[in-house]
Amino acid sequence: YRELVRGHELAMMNDSEFLEVLKILGYHYMDWEGDGLPELVVHLDGFTVLKYEAEEDAVYVLERQDAKSDFLGSSQWAEYDSGGAGHWVYDYESMNREGDKTYFVAMVDLAMSGEPFDYWGFMSINGVDGINIKVTKEYWEEMTKDFLHIVRYADQYAPPYMTFEEIFGTSYGQGVREEPTDQ
């Protein structure tokens, strides 16, 4: 994992410091892609989805989202971003087995006073971009009612984290890994 977080302060730590940080992070072990095989989701400054390829005996990053993104579950996340001085941007994303992403974005343009004045919707399905559509305030409120609730309260919808010990066992990092027994 350390090789995959280049540029992060974790990459500079010695082994024992690195392991101590890993022990306090949150994890999910779930089928992210829908292929029947689990991936490891590591929650650090957002989240990173790691996929193991048995044929290559290698791990690679399947998805990485920064701290603005809230994990909602397998292949789903939401994001709120002020979008700069003149916007509010709410974003929901999901990914299918082929790696194509579907986006739903709701955006509000703000006047100098900070009050909303234009409302927009955007959708991209399976990587095929749609277009931004300007809508009325009433239509925007209707189309985003449930969506905005999920984005604003994403932490309440996410599955609970697993601990390092639940994922890797209690003796990991002590030079011995727990091995399953045939009993």
Residue 179: alpha-carbon gap to chain centroid = 31
Strand ranges in 126-170 using DSSP code E only, listed in sequence order: 128-129, 133-135
In a domain, 179, yes or no: no
In a domain, 177, yes or no: no
What pLDDT score was predicted for residue 34?
Answer: 80
In a domain, 178, yes or no: no
Full residue range of the structural domain in which residue 151 is found = 2-168
Rg of the chain over Cα atoms, rounded to whole angstroms, equals: 20
In a domain, 173, yes or no: no
Name the pTM for this structure.
Answer: 0.69
Q: β-strands 69-73, 39-43: how paired? A: unpaired
* 64 phi and psi angles, rounded to 5 deg: -140, 130
Q: For residues 42 and 180, what is the distance between their CA atoms, to the nearest angstrom?
A: 24
- For the stretch 45-100, pLDDT in tens is 888 899 999 899 998 888 888 887 878 878 777 776 665 656 677 777 777 777 77
In a domain, 133, yes or no: yes
- For the stretch 135-171, pLDDT in tens is 787 877 777 777 777 777 777 777 888 999 998 887 6
Number of domains in the chain: 1
Task: Region of 12 please: left (phi>0), alpha (psi -120 to 50) or beta.
Answer: alpha
In a domain, 46, yes or no: yes
C-beta neighbour count of 164 within 10 angstroms: 20
In a domain, 183, yes or no: no
Tell me if 92 sits within 8 A of 113, measured CB to CB.
no
What pLDDT score was predicted for residue 179?
Answer: 43
In a domain, 121, yes or no: yes
